[in-house]
Amino acid sequence: MNTSFGIDVGGSGIKGAVVDLDTGQFMGDRIKIATPQPATPEAVAATVREIVDQAQWDGPIGITVPSIVKGQMVLSAANIDKSWIGIDAYELFHRHLGADRHISILNDADAAGLAEVAFGEEKAKTGQVIFLTFGTGIGSAFLMDGRLWPNTEIGHLAVDGFEAEHQASSAVKDALDLSFKKWAKRVDRVLDEYEALFNPDLFIVGGGISRRFDKWGKHLTIKTEVIPAGLRNKAGIIGAAMAVTREISP
């Protein structure tokens, strides 16, 4: 069986699972451990090792991080400790997981977007698509006929003077105890700005809150179609696992 292990590093949790690369399905249970605070490189890498050990996995591993990743280097840090910036991620994870281990590392939203193309919503495969993940922050993947423009990170664009993810992430909804309707108004404003700047054919929204799209999607008013991700919150792990055998890392 063609399998790999995917690990998705988020601001609140680090999740991993064995993935069947032919179907995109999890093989067995997902393992989740709370993201250490502060989420320094050493602390996160140790938690990743803990997940791999729990799974008793000795094969290839793909890892997503909420960061710009170019070559081996981490160039930004969103919702993880700023000490990640400038880190050689491959050296870090090989030191914790084994020097001879096959490891791939890429941006979390990029991984999720490419997984959606491969195994999720059919509409992700064609046209100009902006894939967004709503979680601790807002991640983004720009797709053109299913091909990726990596490391876009438009969750950090300013909307009305503040970063988009500081206004409309699902973490903000939870922190302010917003109703779905009130939170959707914030999302609508952010999407309106993205629509004006990038003119996509479609927005696809993922992250855990996409499972409740029926509660808030109906309150959106932008002209561009918005649909929930087919893979919901599994996309990051699946995309991480895909990166091991497919040349999708930036």
DSSP labels for 100-169? Answer: TS-EEEEEHHHHHHHHHHHHS-GGGGSSEEEEEEESSSEEEEEEETTEEE----GGGSEETTEETHHHHS
CB 65 within 8 A of CB 9: yes
Find where tokens 């922190």 sit: 175
% of the chain surpassing 70 pLDDT: 98
Q: Closest Cα partner for 142 from 107, 169, 189, 188? A: 107
CA distances from 180 to 119, 159, 249 (A): 28, 20, 35
Question: In the prediction, which pLDDT does 152 show?
Answer: 96
Of 117, 203, 132, 135, give the one whose Cα is nearest residue 173.
Answer: 135
Counts of helices then strands in the chain (DSSP H, E): 8, 14
82 token code pair: 């700023």
Return d(Cα 32, Cα 12) in angstroms, integer. 10
Separation CA 24–CA 56 (nearest Å): 20
Query: Which tens digit of pLDDT belongs to each residue from 59-69?
Result: 999 999 999 99
Compute how many other C-beta atoms are within 10 angstroms of the C-beta atom of residue 23: 12
Q: What confidence category does residue 248 fall into, taking pLDDT thresholds of 50, 70 and 90?
A: very low
pLDDT greater than 50 at residue 142: yes
pLDDT single digits (tens) 106-141: 999 999 999 999 999 999 999 999 999 999 999 999
Of 3.40.50.720, 3.10.50.40, 3.30.56.10, 3.30.420.40, the CATH number of 3-110+235-243 is: 3.30.420.40
pLDDT (mean) for 187-206:
98
Could you tell me the residue ranges of all domains in the chain? 3-110+235-243, 123-229
Q: What is the fold of 123-229?
A: Nucleotidyltransferase; domain 5 (3.30.420)
What Å distances lie between residue 112 and 95, 98, 118, 204, 248, CA to CA? 26, 26, 10, 11, 11
- Model confidence at 84, pLDDT cuts 50, 70, 90, reads very high
Instruction: Show the DSSP H helices in 31-88 as ranges.
Output: 41-55
Q: Do domains 3-110+235-243 and 123-229 have the same CATH topology?
A: yes
Of the pLDDT bands very low, low, confident and very high (cuts 50, 70, 90), residue 249 is very low
Query: Model-level pTM greater than 0.85?
Result: yes
> What gap in Å lies between CA 9 and CA 236, rounded to an integer?
9
User: What is the mean pLDDT of the segment spanning 37-64?
Assistant: 97
